[in-house]
Amino acid sequence: MPGPSHLDHPARIGPYRILDRLGEGGMGTVYLGADDSGGKVAIKVIRKEHAADPRYRARFESEVAAAQRVRPFCTAPVLDADPRADPPYLVTEFVSGSSLQEAAPLRGADLEALAVGMASALTAIHDAGVVHRDLKPANVLLSPYGPRVIDFGIARGADATRLTATGGLVGTPTFMSPEQLNGRDATPASDVFAWGATLAFAASGRPCFGGSTLPAIIHQILTAEPELRGLDGTLLTVVRAALAKDPAGRPTAQQLLQRLVSSTQQPATQPGTQSAPPPPPPSVHVQQPLPPPAMGSDESAALVERQYRLAAEAGDTAAMYNLGVLLKWRGQTAEAEYWYRRAAAGQQTYNRAPYQTAYNRPVAYNTPAPTHAGAHGYAQPRYNSAAVYAITFGVLGMFTCGLPSIPAIIAGHMGWVKVKRTGERGAGMAAAGIALGWIMVAFWVLIAIGWAIGDDTSGSTP
């Protein structure tokens, strides 16, 4: 969320107007900006002294290329970038909400939703051939629509050369894997370790590897068992597997996601292996149900979309929004817009409150607007009744000398606000009703003015 206002920020960066400074890191500064339409964006600008260094500029260009390869669900999508500008900058969607660093500890379904969202983000990141390298609570924002993994400030392609400023560690030691602390390059398994450490922090509000000094923390990570207070059941099993000292013994991000969304307990599997279901008794004939169709371009995308679709159809607004992002990214704009509207309708119960508030209390979702089957095979919202009244009164006003014009204007404004807030159809009817109403009002105003002026007889002769 926006921090204290700073007066030393630039007025514009590229085509974006700067509103405030959100934060500052080792590579640059993050600003809150606005595009030409007034939409808020986050703009990360590399430091000028670093931009002059070819190594830093190469690292920033790598960041841009990496971020553009990542599917946008559960991350902050990249909207624009200019790595060759002076200074270079990267523009992402602005995510409004508290960081996990501020919101922890979480409990129950909130903690499980966070685990699934972070695992979904890592699955998308790793599928793009990218390693985040600095996953930690401060880089997980809790938006009203679910967790978002942000800050690819030290992300790199898995096949790229490691770049550092001074040959030192790149990352936050408290959440770094043992192999990184031993000087080896980060891999997707290192992100899985950071996922486990971050989720353990979310459950307890404190790091799972404690220590008052940096050497003590590093010693704990390399030799001690993690403190997993606040975790139980499947979460405890999966987090413990993710925090294995040996990277070869950790599950992949996709396996994390599969374990978390599975309804049954399964033993942990080694990365790259599949666990076979137990065979049925010989005397019992089991008819296997047909699996749902694979909707994504690969197995992990299909898994994520199926889970989002099931949750969205059950009324989960976060899943509706995430499904819309995924569908829009794949070019299915019509269905994506439908799920965006459903999410906006259900989101009204949050009353624009910070995500931390929604996470720490039960949320009563609105009942979605009544729908009917549309031409695309999925449900569409009904027409708003106020918008229907507006166009009806507006048309009647043209044939009745304008008597229903005022009701048309009032109903039109009510319908317009309702349509924008709930996702119902009828914006055009509301606008037409308002226009017809004002036309008749203007007609009668002109008649009244003419009547008041009267006939000018000053120049006539008796």
Residue entry with tokens 């600095």: 134
Q: Is 1 inside any structural domain?
A: yes
User: Would the pLDDT of 155 be above 70?
Assistant: no
User: Would the pLDDT of 178 be above 60?
Assistant: yes
Per-residue model confidence (pLDDT) at position 296 = 37
Per-residue model confidence (pLDDT) at position 356 = 35
Tell me if 44 is assigned to a ligand binding site: no
Which range marks the domain in which residue 324 is found? 97-157+170-268+297-363
143 shares a domain with 239 = yes
Domain boundary among 43, 69, 94: 94
Between 404 and 156, the higher pLDDT residue: 404
pLDDT level of residue 190 (50, 70, 90 thresholds) = very high
342 shares a domain with 204 = yes
Domain boundary among 94, 112, 136: 94
Predicted confidence (pLDDT) per residue in 204-214, tens digit:
999 999 888 88
Residue entry with tokens 């900006």: 33
220 shares a domain with 122 = yes
118 shares a domain with 41 = no
Predicted confidence (pLDDT) per residue in 281-335, tens digit:
333 333 333 333 333 345 555 666 766 776 677 676 666 777 777 777 667 888 8
Give start and end residues of each alpha helix (H) in 135-279.
Answer: 178-181, 188-204, 214-223, 233-242, 253-261
- CATH number of the domain residue 235 falls in: 1.10.510.10
344 shares a domain with 217 = yes
Per-residue model confidence (pLDDT) at position 250 = 97
309 shares a domain with 219 = yes
Q: Is 291 inside any structural domain?
A: no
Per-residue model confidence (pLDDT) at position 303 = 60
Q: What is the 3-state secondary structure (H, E, C) of 178-216?
A: HHHHCCCCCCHHHHHHHHHHHHHHHHHCCCCCCCCCHHH
Q: Is 375 inside any structural domain?
A: no
Q: Is 209 inside any structural domain?
A: yes
Domain boundary among 94, 115, 142: 94
Q: What is the mean pLDDT of the chain?
A: 74
* Closest C-alpha to 230, from 257, 193, 201, 195: 201
Q: Is 118 inside any structural domain?
A: yes
Q: Is 52 inside any structural domain?
A: yes
Q: Is 273 inside any structural domain?
A: no
Predicted confidence (pLDDT) per residue in 2-37, tens digit:
444 445 678 899 899 999 988 877 667 889 999 888
80 shares a domain with 192 = no
pLDDT level of residue 429 (50, 70, 90 thresholds) = confident
User: Would the pLDDT of 353 be above 50?
Assistant: no
| 134 assigned to active site | yes
Per-residue model confidence (pLDDT) at position 111 = 92
Give start and end residues of each alpha helix (H) in 22-107.
Answer: 48-51, 54-69, 100-103
Predicted confidence (pLDDT) per residue in 441-462, tens digit:
888 888 888 888 866 555 555 4
356 shares a domain with 213 = yes
Q: Is 201 inside any structural domain?
A: yes
316 shares a domain with 256 = yes
**Cα–Cα distance measured from residue 298 to residue 207, given in angstroms and rounded to the nearest whole number:** 35
In this prediction, residues 227-234 reach a mean pLDDT of 93
Between 163 and 345, the higher pLDDT residue: 345
132 shares a domain with 89 = no
Residue entry with tokens 């309708």: 345
Which residues does 242 contact at the CB level (< 8 Å), separation at least 6?
Answer: 192, 193, 195, 196, 199, 250, 251, 256
Between 268 and 385, the higher pLDDT residue: 385
* CA distances for 294 relative to 33, 82, 288, 298, 336, angstroms: 38, 36, 17, 8, 17
Per-residue model confidence (pLDDT) at position 307 = 65
Per-residue model confidence (pLDDT) at position 77 = 79
The count of domains in the chain is 3
**Cα–Cα distance measured from residue 328 to residue 369, given in angstroms and rounded to the nearest whole number:** 22
Pairing type for strands 140-143 and 130-131 reads unpaired
* Closest C-alpha to 244, from 300, 172, 195, 183: 195
**Cα–Cα distance measured from residue 451 to residue 324, given in angstroms and rounded to the nearest whole number:** 57
User: Would the pLDDT of 86 be above 60?
Assistant: yes
In this prediction, residues 47-59 reach a mean pLDDT of 78
48 shares a domain with 137 = no
302 shares a domain with 442 = no
Catalytic residue chosen out of the listed positions 110, 127, 134, 191: 134
Between 426 and 458, the higher pLDDT residue: 426
Per-residue model confidence (pLDDT) at position 391 = 85
- CATH number of the domain residue 57 falls in: 3.30.200.20
Which residues does 323 contact at the CB level (< 8 Å), separation at least 6?
Answer: 305, 308, 309, 312, 336, 339
Phi and psi dihedrals of 92, rounded to 5?
-125, 170
* Closest C-alpha to 83, from 101, 67, 60, 103: 60
pTM confidence score: 0.58
In this prediction, residues 103-113 reach a mean pLDDT of 90
In this prediction, residues 166-180 reach a mean pLDDT of 71
Per-residue model confidence (pLDDT) at position 87 = 84
* Closest C-alpha to 93, from 75, 70, 76, 71: 76
